[in-house]
């Protein structure tokens, strides 16, 4: 004879089930008996969340003034309310968190977060929620909003401070208004038409047709990256947005962008520069990859290569350390290797960032770019701290607790009403950029010419440009115009600025040592047209 199951037995068994399993049983009970159990489920979910929030010390102090003297202040349904005696404001454990007004329990949040962390497409997230959690009411639009709330929360997490050797460089993303009903032009006098397939920009990365993302990486692998706006980067913008993340560096490594040079001069930080035309420069000057099939030949080639590099080093045409003219090429080479001075890590980060955004099947509108950049930056830093990218539910749960402690509340309304509010180049600058671009195309007979961040034309200030170019280039210009070499630098520049053709000379100087004639975006468009016929 079998023993009758008591209520205590049932209770003990229920205590072994997860909340997900209990809610599943309630759903089954509701379906079989036509009983409305929604209030019971809501109560279970709220109580479970409140217990978890208390256990993780979330909103146990005042979310407004951080006051510790708080007292109970009744309930709103099942939700406990509290009052801060310092500021007299009331709040709940959910206030200013991503969980405000949620109706989905902890396990579902962890599951969704885990899928977002692993870059699972929204369609597949919806499918999983339908199949595994029976949440048939969830559609693509709702889950997209949910996903973006998570991405925004992670993008809002604190960034690390970088130290030691810090590599800095910019990367660019074409301005996108995907999903917008009305397209807005950020180039005065030009219409913003829909782009189908690959379409080139008119003026390149220095204008409002591109979003500029500045990335910094230290040798530990920690990174900071932010969208600084549309178009050009200035010293003021860089200092304002990135200075607080630079912690007593031993070196900064950058390309030929004068913004970093000016910043390092201001902060007295040693600056290693490696221009993007490095490989083109050494190859054009006879550098050859040694043929190691013959030891004798390779040794001779290596000797010749070192002579070429040494000559180019003293002319500041390859990598060097700013302000260290006292260093011989040998001393510089040893210092570079001893401190791992390069741009390899930041260039690798650029590649990963672009692949992450390109792999997003629906594309990323520029109005959401800051969040996606911040989201991937968080993932990279989490990997450095933990040795692997977050992949398990356990990883997701620890990250979810960090999100809740961060107290980021991003509403569906915020998402729906998002616009491109990034800083933009002025109409005056865009007019100047267009004029200078057309003039350069005429001078170089290159209809594809576009300025980039290493051309140092942020303001098209001629005096500033002449002040910053290598001395041998300045002397070449002076020789052309027969300006005496005995003149001091300031006088040489003042004389040059009086010459009628100095504008064109400066433009030709800019184009002289570029490492490409046609930008990558134009090459891709040309290639796509070739295969479309």
pLDDT tens readout for residues 330-340: 999 999 999 99
pLDDT at 1: 47
pLDDT at 113: 96
pLDDT at 454 over 50: yes
The SS3 call for residue 168 is: strand
Return all residues near 301 (Cβ < 8 A) that are at least 6 apart: 288, 289, 290, 291
Beta-sheet pairing, 162-174 with 246-254: parallel
Sheet strands (E) in 304-428: 320-321
Rounded average pLDDT over 280-289: 91
Q: Which residue has the higher pLDDT, 33 or 324?
A: 324
User: Phi and psi at residue 44, in whole multiples of 5°?
Assistant: -60, -45
Question: What average pLDDT is seen over the chain?
Answer: 88
DSSP secondary structure letter of residue 72? E
Question: Contact, 218 vs 411, CB < 8 A?
Answer: no
pLDDT at 274 over 60: yes
pLDDT at 192 over 50: yes
Rounded average pLDDT over 186-193: 87
pLDDT tens readout for residues 117-144: 998 999 999 999 999 888 888 999 899 8
Rounded average pLDDT over 74-90: 89
Rounded average pLDDT over 504-530: 82
pLDDT at 15: 65
b/e per residue, 301-330, with b = 16+ CB within 10 A?
beeebeebbbebbeebbbbbbbeeeebebe
pLDDT tens readout for residues 199-219: 889 999 999 999 999 999 999
Q: Which residue has the higher pLDDT, 417 or 222?
A: 222
Q: Which of 8-22, 32-46, 63-77, 145-159 has the lowest mean pLDDT?
A: 8-22
pLDDT at 48: 85
Q: Which residue has the higher pLDDT, 471 or 530?
A: 471
pLDDT at 264: 95
Question: What confidence category does residue 327 fall into, taking pLDDT thresholds of 50, 70 and 90?
Answer: very high
Q: Which residue has the higher pLDDT, 238 or 513?
A: 238
Q: Whole-prediction pTM value?
A: 0.86
DSSP secondary structure string for all residues of 25-82: HHHHHHHHHT---HHHHHHHHHHHHHHHHHHTTSSSS-TTT--S-EEEEEEETTEEEE
Rounded average pLDDT over 304-321: 93
pLDDT at 260 over 80: yes
3-state secondary structure string, 175-213?
Answer: CCCCCCCCCCCCCCCCCCCCCCCCCCCCCHHHCCCEEEE
- Token digits for 528? 């796509």
Q: Which of 153-162, 236-245, 288-297, 430-439 has the lowest mean pLDDT?
A: 288-297
**Residues 245, 390, 178, 207, Cα dihedral to 10°:** 30
User: Phi and psi at residue 361, in whole multiples of 5°?
Assistant: -65, -25
* Nearest residue to 373 (alpha-carbon basis) of 161, 246, 179, 212: 212
pLDDT at 105 over 50: yes
Rounded average pLDDT over 477-488: 92
pLDDT at 16 over 90: no
pLDDT at 441 over 50: yes
Helices (H) and strands (E) counted in the chain, each on its own, are 21, 9
């Amino acid at each position: 004879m079998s023993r009758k199951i008591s209520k205590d037995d049932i209770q003990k068994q229920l205590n072994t089930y997860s909340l997900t399993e209990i809610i599943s049983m309630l759903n089954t009970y509701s379906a079989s008996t036509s009983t409305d159990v929604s209030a019971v489920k809501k109560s279970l979910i709220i109580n479970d969340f409140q217990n978890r929030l208390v256990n993780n010390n979330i909103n146990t102090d005042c979310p407004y003034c951080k006051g510790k003297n708080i007292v109970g202040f009744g309930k709103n349904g099942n939700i406990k309310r509290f009052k801060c005696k310092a500021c007299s404001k009331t709040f709940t454990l959910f206030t200013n968190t991503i969980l405000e007004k949620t109706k989905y329990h902890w396990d579902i949040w962890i599951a969704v977060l885990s899928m977002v962390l692993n870059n699972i497409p929204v369609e597949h997230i919806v499918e999983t929620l339908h199949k595994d959690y029976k949440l048939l009411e969830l559609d693509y639009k709702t889950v997209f909003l949910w996903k973006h709330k998570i991405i925004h929360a992670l993008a809002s997490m604190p960034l690390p401070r970088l130290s030691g050797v810090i590599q800095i460089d910019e990367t660019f993303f074409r301005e996108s208004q995907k999903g917008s009903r009305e397209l807005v032009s950020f180039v005065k006098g030009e219409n913003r038409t829909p782009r189908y397939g690959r379409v080139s920009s008119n003026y390149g990365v220095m204008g409002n047709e591109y979003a500029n993302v500045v990335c910094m990486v230290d040798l530990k692998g920690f990174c900071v990256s932010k969208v600084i706006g549309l178009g050009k980067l200035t010293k003021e913008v860089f200092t304002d947005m990135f200075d607080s993340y630079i912690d007593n560096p031993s070196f900064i490594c950058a390309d030929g962008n004068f913004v970093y040079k000016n910043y390092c001069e201001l902060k007295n930080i040693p600056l290693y520069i490696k221009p993007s035309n490095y490989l083109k420069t050494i190859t054009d000057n006879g550098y050859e990859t040694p043929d190691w099939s013959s030891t004798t030949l390779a040794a001779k080639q290596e000797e010749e290569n070192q002579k070429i590099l040494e000559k180019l080093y003293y002319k500041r045409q390859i990598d060097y350390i700013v302000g260290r003219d006292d260093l011989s090429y040998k001393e510089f080479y040893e210092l570079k290797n001893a401190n791992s001075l390069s741009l390899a890590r930041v260039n690798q980060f650029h590649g990963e960032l672009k692949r992450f955004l390109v792999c997003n099947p629906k594309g990323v509108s520029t109005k959401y770019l800051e969040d996606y950049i911040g989201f991937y930056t968080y993932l990279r830093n989490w990997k450095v701290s933990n040795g692997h990218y977050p992949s398990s539910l356990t990883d997701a749960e620890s990250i979810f607790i960090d999100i809740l402690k961060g107290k980021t509340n991003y509403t569906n309304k915020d998402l729906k009403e998002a616009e491109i509010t990034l800083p933009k180049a002025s109409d005056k600058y865009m007019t100047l950029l267009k004029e200078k671009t057309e003039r350069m195309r005429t001078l170089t007979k290159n209809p594809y010419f576009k300025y980039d961040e290493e051309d140092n034309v942020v303001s098209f200030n001629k005096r500033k440009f002449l002040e910053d170019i290598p001395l041998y280039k300045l002397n070449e210009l002076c020789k052309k115009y027969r300006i005496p070499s005995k003149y001091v630098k300031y006088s040489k520049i003042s004389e040059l600025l009086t010459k009628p053709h100095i504008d064109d000379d400066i433009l030709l100087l800019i184009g002289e040592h570029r490492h490409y004639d046609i930008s990558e975006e134009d090459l891709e468009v040309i290639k796509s047209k070739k295969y479309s016929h």
